Amino acid sequence: MSAGERPSAGTDVQDDVVLEPERQAFVEEFALMFSELAGTPLTDARVLGYLMMTRAPHSSSSDLQLALGASSGAISMATRRLADSGFVKRHTVPGERSHYFRAEADVWGSWLAGERRYLDRQRDVIGRGLAIVESGGHTADGDVDAEVRERLRNGRDYMQWLRGYHVKMLEEWEAFKAARDESDRPETP
């Protein structure tokens, strides 16, 4: 089967649309954990858990509805948010109009790389707020907007610092994976 083809009905991969009970239990456990700890909507967390656990190369919105018992609207919103945040990728199949989705092999590294857009946006918005305060001539310590300026400046600079740290973390993550993969390789004589 080529990379763009969908498995035919009756194959093991197609039968994997509805997961085995153990895999489905993982999806639910993951969804509860991710929803509670990350504040992610439960449907989003279920979709991500499902896409991490399925053997299918990609899953359609209909597959996700069937597997998770969710409405088309809930799946549409969940996949949009997950794709926007970098957790899943949209996938197309030539000749088909359906949307397909898959989890990246490195879900968390992809998310970390995508989170920089969010940090940039926060930095820019907070920076515009700081510019508004400073355009009123409120730039000296002790003036009426000193505390406002300090909060905004700290927010802007924190987002900039965190973005830089994300770059370092991603580099370190890639180095960690490379070392792990190297140690997993069997020795050759």
Residue 54, burial from CB neighbour count under 10 angstroms (0-12, 13-18, 19+): buried
* pLDDT score of 6 more than 60: no
Mean of pLDDT values over 86-109: 90
Name residue 79's amino acid: T
**Whole-angstrom Cα distance, residue 110 to residue 101?**
15
**Whole-angstrom Cα distance, residue 81 to residue 40?**
10
Name the CA radius of gyration of the chain, rounded.
Answer: 22
How crowded is the C-beta side of 120, counted as CA atoms within 13 Å? 6
* pLDDT score of 7 more than 70: no
The structure's pTM equals 0.72
Would you state the pLDDT for residue 89? 94
Is 102 within 8 Å of 52 (Cβ atoms)? no
Q: Which tokens is 83 given?
A: 């794709």
**Whole-angstrom Cα distance, residue 143 to residue 138?**
6
Selection from 12, 94, 82 nearest residue 54 by Cα: 12
Would you state the pLDDT for residue 187? 77
Would you state the pLDDT for residue 166? 87
